[in-house]
Amino acid sequence: MSELQVFLDLDGPILDVSYKYWRVHRDVLVDLVKPYLSKDEYWHLKRTRTPVPDILARVGAQEITDEYTRMRIARIETPEYLNYDRVWPGVREALVALARDHRLVLVTLRRSAEALHGELERLKLTPLFDRVLSSGEQRTPRWGIEVDLIHSDGYQAEMPGMIVGDTETDIRAGQILGLHTVAVTFGIRTAEYMASLSPDVLIHSPEELVEWAKSCLVQGTRANDA
């Protein structure tokens, strides 16, 4: 079986972060004495890339956009809110199986490396990855940061590889690097949007991701037919 380089985003493909995102939204607005959206409405708007001022306009609070954004960023990676993150059912086991034969590399654009590694330890994910690549750099386009991170890891273009992600950042970075692109549609972007990026594979549920991982183990290839 030939070894694969498998680059994985954390938030979305591996972790369900929806409750964390909503709790930050809710708690910031409560502190600012403003009404807040239900989890379902907020997450739908977030997944459809609705700008923050438009989200806040739904509760008549668009005038506090700057303060809301500042407070949200300050909280989103604190232990209190990271504790709301959950590994999707079955995904941990799929990663354990993949890690036996393939090189797994986590690629994420979290702002705090310390908070990231603390969360990986808490969720017992650290041993599954050969490397953890992260950057808190705030420049655009975001995919350029991921490309640079993967290159810094000694990326070998001649070795079969793939990237699993849930945003345009992951898929665009993979396309630039010539990686097989696997887009999950249950993360922070909708299925329609992820399909518009023309990934090689679309995966619509954590269960499908587990089955895809199994196909990689069986084939030891790029799993084009997953």
Higher pLDDT, 141 or 219: 141
Classify residue 90: in a domain, yes or no: yes
pLDDT in tens, 170-200: 999 999 999 999 999 999 999 999 999 999 9
155 plus 77 within the same structural domain: no
Q: Are 88 and 208 a contacting pair, CB within 8 Å?
A: no
- The pLDDT, as a whole number, for residue 40 is 98
Q: Which residue in 180, 221, 217, 176 sits closest to 202, CA to CA?
A: 180
Query: Taking the chain, what is the end-to-end CA distance rounded to the nearest angstrom?
Result: 17
105 plus 126 within the same structural domain: yes
Q: Are 166 and 10 a contacting pair, CB within 8 Å?
A: no
Summarize the confidence of residues 61-71 as an average pLDDT. 97
Query: Which residues, in sequence order, are bridge partners of residue 103?
Result: 5
Percent of the chain with pLDDT over 90: 76
3-state SS assignment for residue 134: strand
Enclosing domain of residue 37: 18-82
What CA–CA distance (Å, rounded) separates 206 from 221?
Answer: 21
26 plus 49 within the same structural domain: yes
| Number of domains comprising the chain | 2
